[in-house]
Structure 1
Amino acid sequence: MTSLIYLLLSIIMAIQNINGKELKKMLAENPEELEIVDVREQDEFDMVKIKNSKLIPLQEIGMRIGEIDWNKKVVLVCRSGSRSGYVGQILAQNGKEVLNLQSGIYELNLDQCDCLEKDPDCCEGYF
């Protein structure tokens, strides 16, 4: 029982949820210290993405984990925060510390964040 509690606490502590305002602040202050990993699919990424983010789709995360720069703060993103939260749990179980954009790119779009790159022909129906 104690080991189960320890495991759950370590996972919770290894994943920190952040909101769009927090991410925008981090991007404004120290963008070079961030590794933004987008876990959506290629077609979603092509429609709208955070500038300088890296696409590693959910289905490929296990095979491509070595592409992540763990010397930086790793921020996981998806459309709404669900897929990135799931990936965060998997990474936390493997001893990695990550930040999860809790409301995803959806929130950044609502706030009209200038950190997004959009294909104007594609993303109207995405949100």
Structure 2
Amino acid sequence: MKEISVQELKDKMDSGEDFQLIDVREDFEYEMSNLGGELIPLSGVLIESGKIDKNKEVVVMCRSGKRSAAAIMQLEQQGFTNLYNLKGGLLAWAEEIDPETQVY
């Protein structure tokens, strides 16, 4: 599984790179804090896989990196090859990039 660090994600955001960010946490978690990605909870990731771009880099994130890894495993079985797991998830983002990020 391909991974991306929170610093690499921040660099992509800062440079305006064209990629898709998918957040596989639950609604209440997303409302508490998010990085502006599209919310597709893990439980619905296969049902809503049509919302995920197959033609550009897609970064999948969650709180710690475990649910996003599970989502990527499911999606790769559907033929996706352009997915990157955000290593450490929102917890790593709060620790390394933005300590103001609300974590739980």
**TM-score if structure 2 supplies the norm length?**
0.88
Aligned partner of 1:68: which letter?
A: I
What is the distance in 2 between the residues matched to 1:96 and 1:69?
A: 9
Deviation (angstroms), 1:111? 2.2
> 5+ unaligned residues in a row in structure 2: which ranges?
none
Give the Cα separation in 2 of the matches to 1:23 and 1:107. 11
State whether residues 46 and 75 of structure 2, in contact with CA within 8 Å, keep that contact through their aligned partners in structure 1: no
Q: Percent identity?
A: 33
Task: Give the match's secondary structure for 1:49.
Answer: coil
Give the aligned partner of residue 26 of structure 2.
Answer: 41
Q: CA deviation at 1:94?
A: 1.9
Q: Are 1:76 and 2:53 counterparts?
A: no
Letter in 1 for 2:30: F
More helix by share: 1
Match of 1:104 in 2: 89
Counterparts of 2:24 and 2:35, CA distance in 1: 12
CA distance in structure 2 between the aligned counterparts of 1:108 and 1:75, rounded to whole angstroms: 14
The code of the aligned residue for 2:27 comes to Q
1:61 counterpart residue number: 45
Structure 1: distance between partners of 2:14 and 2:60: 17
Contact 1:40 1:57 in 2 (8 A): yes
Shift of 1:93: 1.8
Query: Whose radius of gyration is greater, 1 or 2?
Result: 1
Does the CA-based 8 Å contact 1:39-1:77 persist in structure 2? yes
Whether the aligned pair in 2 keeps the contact of 1:85 and 1:102 (CA below 8 Å) is no
| Aligned residue type for 1:86 | A
Aligned-partner Cα distance in 1 for 2:75–2:47: 13
Aligned to 1:24: 10
1:70 Cα deviation (Å)?
2.1
Give the length in aligned residue pairs. Answer: 103
Report the RMSD for the aligned CA atoms in angstroms.
1.9
